[in-house]
Amino acid sequence: MGRPDHPGTAAPSDGTADDTADDGLDGAVAREATGVPAGPPDATPALPVGRGRAQRHPHGARRVTVPSSLGPLAALRAEPDAAAAIEGRPATALLLPGYSGSKEDFAPLIDAVAAGGIGVLALDLPGQYESPGPAAESEYQPDRLGPVIAGIVADEVAAGRRVLLLGHSFGGLVARAAVLAGAAVRGLTLMDSGPGELPMGQRRTNLDVLEPILRRRGIEDVIALRDASGEWSSKDPQVVALLRERLRRSTVTGLLGMGDALRAEPDRTAELVAAVRARRVPCLIVCGIDDDAWPVSMQRTMADRLEAEFAAVPHAAHAPNVENPTALLDVLVPTWRTWLRDDLLG
């Protein structure tokens, strides 16, 4: 597998403030893109992106429930545009959100990915938002959640679909664990996710500060702190309402367990290298060019180790899916379509 780079210079964001799909409960301000220009057949299809919509961005996916070994998971499913599909078995992009996130974090991507001939299945991870989760904090470690996702991949494959797995931030650690657990994916994308634990920095500090508040006083005090900080004051009221609701409905046990995992996950890149080489699974590492979680240089080094493609999305930090979906789509859709064509070539 070669490692060509994407230049990461697609259409910039318009600077509209919005909320990121955050992994440190710090609500970093994001910017929404305005649209995707027309392009050649393998370019991202035209996408009318509304201003400041983020997780409330309109899409054509339907709400579904996906069975898993830990119980039903809430999801959004969109069918691919058959006219744009690559020859062969249909494909589904299975999308995993980050810590404190949800399936709605992928709302700005859904219609464009489906228009590119690839179906979408965006999940709440166990314990997130509308999905129940286990009672023990230890069950939220990536190596415990990975086999759960591997089971969902197996169900998709059994239904005749090729699976392109994407994990954002904490979801990237889970996606990696799913591949290490044997998930039969056609490609792996790690977005704004690192080789191991979250490095020292503001996001890790936020986890350290908020952990005792969450454990002793509960989620309402965390929400009150965010309200008092004013970090939500400039955002669309409908987006703020969703962010409050999903924090309130996510399990405290899950937030604590995932938070612990983000501060303790070992570097498993060597294991992943062996797995993807043995099974010839292509990989993409993509991140916002200003990612403030795992340094971009660290993610670039991880891509080198994996012999993976690498792309840095302009005008984006830790959540290009809501900060600059236009530029992110210009990386994802052509890359995924290439992987599906290569699959036909053997």
Tell how strand 119-123 and strand 73-78 pair up.
antiparallel
Q: What is the pLDDT of residue 5?
A: 53
pLDDT digits (tens, 9 = 90+) for 258-276: 999 999 999 999 999 999 9
Q: What percent of the chain has pLDDT over 90?
A: 76
> Is 343 in a helix, a strand, or coil?
helix
Q: What is the CATH number of domain 16-345?
A: 3.40.50.1820
Q: How far apart are CA 319 and CA 98, in angstroms?
A: 9
pLDDT digits (tens, 9 = 90+) for 54-79: 899 999 999 999 999 999 999 999 99
- Give the pLDDT band of residue 236 (cuts 50, 70, 90): confident
Q: What is the pLDDT of residue 207?
A: 92
- Give the pLDDT band of residue 225 (cuts 50, 70, 90): confident
Higher-confidence residue: 291 or 31? Answer: 291
Tell how strand 73-78 and strand 62-66 pair up.
antiparallel
* Amino acid letter, 139: E
pLDDT digits (tens, 9 = 90+) for 118-172: 999 999 999 999 999 999 999 999 999 999 999 999 999 999 999 999 999 999 9
Q: Which residues contact 307 (CB under 8 A, 6 or more apart)?
A: 1, 2, 3, 273, 277, 283
Q: What is the pLDDT of residue 28?
A: 30
Mean of pLDDT values over 180-185:
98
Q: How far apart are CA 339 and CA 332, in angstroms?
A: 11
Top mean-pLDDT range of 23-32, 148-157, 201-210: 148-157
Q: What is the pLDDT of residue 342?
A: 87
Q: What is the pLDDT of residue 228?
A: 83
Closest listed residue to residue 251, CA positions, set 209, 280, 215:
215
Q: Is the pLDDT of residue 16 over 90?
A: no
Q: What is the pLDDT of residue 42?
A: 57
- Give the pLDDT band of residue 230 (cuts 50, 70, 90): confident
- Domain extents for the chain? 16-345
Strand partners, 188: 165, 283
pLDDT digits (tens, 9 = 90+) for 89-111: 999 999 999 999 999 999 999 99
